[in-house]
Chain A
């Protein structure tokens, strides 16, 4: 693990930093006792410092609105309950052009761009985002790898 991935938590221990893909967030919300749930609960306990991007927040919001027909109040409650910080597009958009050539699907490039911009590793459940090409550009973990580290 790189030194930049660590910061001091409130307890004085080193906290791991990482950027989450939305699939990790969906999974954590759906099954908080699972691996992805443990990742977010560790962040709630300040054992790690987690981030995702504003683009992911919007994806979550629209999905809950359209697919689950959740009222705005419930959507806000869920988004605010996530122990995450949201990285704004100003931070990662300068790296987008570079990352669209690395990822299989262009729409995934903001996550890789954010990982390059911050130097934080990226956690995803998607295999197509853990290819050798992506791994050459950023550190990628599958959820269990991050928990076991």
Chain B
């Protein structure tokens, strides 16, 4: 893999990153930062999921209800987005 970029960090952060890399057994800083990015993406997704479920519970919406309203919206959207286009049914 080509390493195309460098990033500027403070001395203190650099030291912490180097220690973390050694302690966690990563082969490179690139690999460790990739791991950090993945964890952030995972945490964001789980946070989104919490907000989603809280919204469903607050409104007492079941999963089946959500699916069927989604189908109705899909039909409505299809008409709005594509049926007016020339050449589309």
List chain A positions with a Cβ less than 8 A from chain B.
10-12, 22-23, 26-30, 32, 37, 40-41, 43-46, 55, 58-60, 62-64, 66-70, 74, 77-83, 89, 93, 96-97, 100, 105-110
Q: With CB as the reference atom, state the residue of chain A lying closest to B37.
A: A10
On chain A, the residues within 8 Å of B88 by CB distance are 93, 96-97, 100
In the complex, which residues 52-84 of chain B have their Cβ closer than 8 Å to any Cβ of chain A?
52-53, 55-56, 58-59, 61, 63, 65-67, 69-71, 73-75, 77-78, 81-82
Of the candidates B44, B56, B73, the one whose C-beta lies within 8 Å of that of A30 is B56
We find that the number of chain B residues with CB closer than 8 angstroms to chain A is: 39
Q: With CB as the reference atom, state the residue of chain B lying closest to A62.
A: B73
B24 to chain A, nearest CB (A): 15
Add 4 more A-B contacts to A12-B1, A81-B47 (CB < 8 A): A32-B45, A59-B74, A68-B61, A83-B45
**A63 with B69: CB separation less than 8 A:** yes
A interface secondary structure, majority: helix
Of the candidates B58, B74, B85, the one whose C-beta lies within 8 Å of that of A108 is B74
**A29 with B53: CB separation less than 8 A:** yes
**B41 with A83: CB separation less than 8 A:** yes
On chain A, the residues within 8 Å of B89 by CB distance are 97, 100, 106
On chain A, the residues within 8 Å of B47 by CB distance are 77, 81
Q: How far is the CA of A97 from the CA of B41 in the complex (A)?
A: 36
**A81 with B55: CB separation less than 8 A:** no
**A77 with B56: CB separation less than 8 A:** no
**A26 with B67: CB separation less than 8 A:** yes
On chain A, the residues within 8 Å of B53 by CB distance are 29-30
**A68 with B59: CB separation less than 8 A:** yes
